[in-house]
Amino acid sequence: MIEKETTTVLVVDDDEKLLDLYEELLTSHGFRVVRAQNGKQALELVKSDLPDVILLDVIMPGFDGFEVCSRLQQDPRTAYIPVIFVTASRKHQDKIRAFAVGAVDYLVKPFEERTLIEKIRFYCDTGIWWNELRPQKEKLPLSIVTDDFTRFRDYLIARIGPDPEKAQIIEKMTAAQLYPMARKLGLSDSELVQMISQFVGIPYIERIDPAEIELGRLPVSFCRANQVIPVKRNETDGLLISNPFDINIIDLIERLEKDGRKVSLFLIEPDKIVNLLGRRKITTSPVGEAGSDQSILSVANKVLYAAVRERASDIHIVTRKTDALVRFRIDGDMRTYFNLKKEVGIKLINRFKVLGDMDIAEKRKPQDGTFEAVMGEKNFRLRLASTRTPEGEYLVIRILEPYAKPRGLSELGMSGDQVEMMLDLINRTHGLILVVGPTGSGKTTTVYSLLSQIDCQSRNLVTVEDPVEYRIPFANQQQVDEKAGITFEILLKSVVRQDPDIIFMGEIRDQYSARMAMDFASTGHLTLTTLHTSNATTAVFRLERLGINRCVMAEAILCIVAQRLVKKLCPRCKKWRCVTDREREILAQFTPSPPDEVAVPVGCLECGHTGYRGREGIYEILRFDTRTAEMIRSGRPISEIRNHFRNSGVYLISNHAVEKVKKGIFAPMDVYRAVLAEEIELLQKPVR
């Protein structure tokens, strides 16, 4: 135990009376106290007088506690000093944010005197041990990892199979470059970490449970640098790691064991650790105070990393009369994350417009732009669209991961039978596969999942997209560029000269593209495209409106895939309860056996207290068999065609939705709003 008289505690609080109380209390227990009334003063003090522990208030003028802690983390001299947040805020978000910027503990006022003293003494000892973890100039001997890692490389070669080029990459692989070099082999991080798990015998876990995290056990700077997170699982101390061959991780484990601290190890993908801890260079300054160019750059980075961490699909930055908001679209819903001063919001929009090669002087006309960024070792493409409102500019940023491995059809939500059907259709030599649904229903994601099943080395896949959202290896992907005069129509005309086997046309947007899709499908090309419509049968009506003859449809179309996205209930906190009479009445129209119990949202830390985490698709696939083609060709009403499918026992989107309600994946009223309400309306008022 450290001697009291050698222990210095820096107390940072803007309330002078509280500082007096802290000083009186701590000096009575033998601690030396250094005081600071604001964040700026605290940062100056630590330059000349390094404390052993820091007590830090959250809400202060100028730099708040989060900013102070973040800046302490960025300085190697202060990064390993334990910081205890002392605040009246009980918000879960503030506690998570405190740990993310480097705090070891979070005390909520009021608290007992004994609790504070015990924590200071404990973290004084922690600080001594942490100092031993500081990066050393002398490198650890490489022999510690050489044998294990060499054997793993041999194991990897055996798993990959006989491929001289890949074997050469593996031979050059180092422990430090394990994941980046494995990506060159075509291995995803998930595939690699599971191979490591099988080789070393360390269990792999799919997700980080926020309730199990104990960041206060290790310095956040150390955790970031070495991609490690301390946890407590099943009452046992553990470490989440991504690379068991890393020298610093091996050294940490040896130190812990030497001190008698037994820990269990768990493997997880590196990006999940990075996304939780964030980047060292990202400041968490109060964005409303940002003013300089450097501050705006930091705010922009913070917004991007927060969006990726929260799984946002879009970022909305809107300037209002007196302020500005940054909102994220998560699982289809808009959520406000930052409230900025208006001038900060304007500078933030300008920063992104510069990155997107847009004209920052032009604020009246809509503009589009793109730029690429690397976050958490992943490549992202940011697609920007700006417009003007009465109160200022409005910028929307779509977040795309162009090099991500497409998810499988079953991961997207298709049933086993649906997956089998689509794999059969994607191997046909000609015909049209039409994917339909409203805006934001995941049509493009489904198409890319289908395209990933194609062997593009033996078949020529040509795409026409506006823009290209995801990269497909060996595919001939062509992108519209209006500024260069390369229009959608020009690219469509050139497609057949590219000797395609398969054609993907981004969407049917007008009569010309509709006619071209039918022509491609009818002239020996397997064609995939998308169309905005509510279900598979109404797609026929929509194509008619675009001037496509029903006889042409009957001959060209292989199948129509209709889909919707529905929010999934959080698996950690969802609650099962008895079905209500209203819910039973709705579900009974689509199933002879409505469930007695259904799952509903509750809310917990992991899902941000929304009750939902992620979205999943519900699908219907209508194949154009002989009977269907005849009904289309003979001009039968849309309602009659849909009733034919329903009476024939075809697995419609409503059946898929109800099945997932029974499994507890979706809440019944979410499914009602997303798809069943429209299906009920179609039953009661046929569409022609």
Answer yes or no: is 341 within a domain. yes
- CB pairs under 8 A, 24+ apart, for 369-376? 370/467, 373/304, 375/279, 375/304, 375/305, 375/308, 376/271, 376/274, 376/275, 376/279, 376/305, 376/308
Answer yes or no: is 679 within a domain. no
CATH, residue 484: 3.40.50.300
* Shared domain check, 246 and 357: no
* Shared domain check, 519 and 383: no
* Shared domain check, 366 and 273: no
* Shared domain check, 318 and 458: no
* Shared domain check, 300 and 331: yes
* Shared domain check, 524 and 637: yes
Last residue of a domain, one of 371, 400, 429: 400
Contact in structure between 314 and 333 (CB atoms under 8 Å): no
* pLDDT for position 278: 57
How far does Cα 401 stand from its chain's mean position? Answer: 10
**Interval 404-413: pLDDT, tens:** 888 899 999 9
Provide the residue range defining the domain that includes 273.
143-277
Answer yes or no: is 226 within a domain. yes
* Shared domain check, 423 and 315: no
Answer yes or no: is 678 within a domain. no
| Confidence bin at 135 (pLDDT 50/70/90) | low
* pLDDT for position 293: 52
Last residue of a domain, one of 277, 310, 337: 277
Contact in structure between 300 and 281 (CB atoms under 8 Å): no
Question: Could you give the CA distance from residue 656 to residue 329 in angstroms, rounded to a whole number?
Answer: 25
Q: Does 416 score more than 70 pLDDT?
A: yes
* Shared domain check, 500 and 631: yes
* Shared domain check, 413 and 396: no
**Per the structure, how many domains does the chain have?**
4
* Strands 236-241 and 264-267, bridge-based pairing: parallel
Answer yes or no: is 598 within a domain. no
Q: Which residues pair with 78 in a beta bridge?
A: none
Q: Which of 243-247, 285-289, 519-523 has the lowest mean pLDDT?
A: 285-289
* Shared domain check, 628 and 551: yes
CATH, residue 34: 3.40.50.2300
Answer yes or no: is 602 within a domain. no
Cβ neighbours of residue 319 under 8 Å, at least 6 residues apart?
342, 345, 346, 349, 389, 391, 392, 393, 394
CATH, residue 332: 3.30.450.90
Answer yes or no: is 136 within a domain. no
* pLDDT for position 535: 80
Q: Does 142 score more than 70 pLDDT?
A: no
* Shared domain check, 521 and 636: yes
Question: Could you give the CA distance from residue 13 to residue 178 in angstroms, rounded to a whole number?
Answer: 45
Q: Can you give the pTM of this predicted structure?
A: 0.61
**Interval 175-225: pLDDT, tens:** 888 888 888 888 888 889 999 999 888 999 888 776 677 766 788 778 877
* pLDDT for position 148: 77
* CB neighbours of residue 642 within 10 Å: 23
How much is the average pLDDT of 646-653? 88
Answer yes or no: is 608 within a domain. no
* Shared domain check, 446 and 549: yes
Last residue of a domain, one of 106, 131, 156: 131
